[in-house]
Amino acid sequence: SAVISQKPSRDICQRGTSLTIQCQVDSQVTMMFWYRQQPGQSLTLIATANQGSEATYESGFVIDKFPISRPNLTFSTLTVSNMSPEDSSIYLCSVEAQGAGGPGTGELFFGEGSRLTVL
């Protein structure tokens, strides 16, 4: 299992500002995933963050809007840039389970999420 801490847990932001969300894992992991969950909706993958390389973004998400850092195997940040009310969502960090499931089985552990409200 993995314990994931996300900061902030929630924030209210002004339009046009940027906010950086931090994700800390209690063990070293190869891949970290950032998901967005808009109000009442399901989860949509923003990007996959690998240590030592550029993040891989999904269709509809761009680095200028959602820059990601992955400085080591236990930490990542997601920045939501130039926010608008449409960015109001829960942003979730997740990692793949290691051990019994093995890499690639896809079982994920999630942080508690960062709930952003943009006014």
Partner 1 sequence: SQQGEEDPQALSIQEGENATMNCSYKTSINNLQWYRQNSGRGLVHLILIRSNEREKHSGRLRVTLDTSKKSSSLLITASRAADTASYFCATSSTGRRALTFGSGTRLQVQP
Residues that bind partner 1 (CB under 8 A): 4, 31, 33, 35, 37, 41-45, 48, 59, 90, 92, 94, 96-97, 101, 103-113, 115
> With 0-12 CB in 10 A as exposed, 13-18 as middle and 19+ as buried, what is 39?
exposed
Which CB, 75 or 110, lies closer to partner 1? 110
Helix (H, G, I), strand (E, B) or coil at 17: coil
Rank residues 33 and 66 by Cβ distance to partner 1 and give the closer one: 33
State the minimum distance, in angstroms, from the CB of residue 24 to partner 1. Answer: 14
Which residues touch 113 (CB under 8 Å, ≥6 apart)? 6, 9, 37, 90, 91, 92
For partner 1, the closer CB: 24 or 37: 37
Distance from C-alpha of 86 to C-alpha of 69, rounded to nearest angstrom: 23
Residue 74 or 94 with smaller CB distance to partner 1:
94
Smallest distance, partner 1 to C-beta of residue 80, A: 17
With H, G, I as helix, E, B as strand and everything else as coil, classify residue 86: helix
